[in-house]
């Protein structure tokens, strides 16, 4: 009889342990599901941030490509003038500078077909002589982007100075 009560109590204990372990397993699966959903949300947010940053990088590359294109066009336009000057006058040691850049800043066209308005404003500010720090503060650009725009505008101004002098 004691053995029967003992086995009955042991069976009851086994059933309750089984119920507790099933409940713990269910809680662990739910917790794992929540963690996976949070990780998925973080990955989607990371992807969005990376896409935005890559867009900014490609806009910077467009700016550099545009500046290079302007420089090459200026050099090509200066070559025939140098040949004309060499033919009409004695050769001089000074090299003719490329034509001055216009005061209106043309922003490069992004692959989507529309220039970025922030970069147009930043390029105009840089052309007016604002520093990279001031441009970054006013428009919220990254400091490196603003410095790049300011240095491009300064280089353009330096190219224009010898032609005007």
Residue 133 CB partners (closer than 8 Å, separation 6+): 143, 146
* pLDDT value at residue 127: 86
Mean pLDDT by runs of 10 across the 165 residues of the chain is: 74 77 94 97 95 88 86 81 68 46 42 61 86 86 82 83 60
- What are the CB-based long-range contacts (under 8 Å, 24+) for 41-50? none
Cα(160)–Cα(130) distance, rounded to whole angstroms? Answer: 18
Which H helix or E strand runs over 165?
none
Which of 42, 159, 110 minimizes the C-alpha distance to 151?
159
Residue 135 has a CB neighbour count (10 Å cut-off) of: 25
pTM given for the model: 0.37
Task: Supply the pLDDT for residue 120.
Answer: 80
What pLDDT score does 29 carry?
97
Q: What is the structure's pLDDT at 162?
A: 66
Q: Give the pLDDT of residue 142.
A: 80
- Cβ count near 99 (within 10 Å): 16
Q: Please, are residues 156 and 101 in contact by the beta-carbon 8 Å criterion? A: yes
pLDDT (0 to 100) of residue 32: 97
Residue 95, pLDDT score: 45
């Amino acid at each position: 009889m004691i053995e029967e009560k003992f086995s009955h109590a042991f069976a009851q204990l086994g059933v309750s342990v089984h119920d507790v372990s099933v409940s713990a397993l269910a809680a662990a699966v739910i917790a794992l599901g929540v963690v996976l959903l949070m990780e998925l949300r973080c990955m989607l947010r990371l992807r969005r941030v990376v896409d935005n940053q890559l867009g900014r990088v490609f806009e910077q590359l467009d700016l550099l490509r545009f500046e290079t294109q302007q420089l090459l066009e200026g050099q090509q336009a200066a070559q025939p003038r140098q040949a004309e000057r060499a033919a009409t006058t004695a050769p001089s040691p000074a090299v003719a500078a490329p034509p001055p850049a216009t005061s209106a800043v043309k922003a490069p066209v992004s692959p989507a077909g529309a220039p970025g308005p922030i970069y147009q404003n930043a390029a105009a500010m840089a052309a007016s002589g604002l520093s990279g720090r001031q441009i970054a503060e006013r428009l919220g650009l990254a400091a490196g982007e603003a410095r790049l725009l300011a240095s491009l505008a300064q280089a353009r101004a330096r190219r224009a100075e010898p032609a005007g002098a």
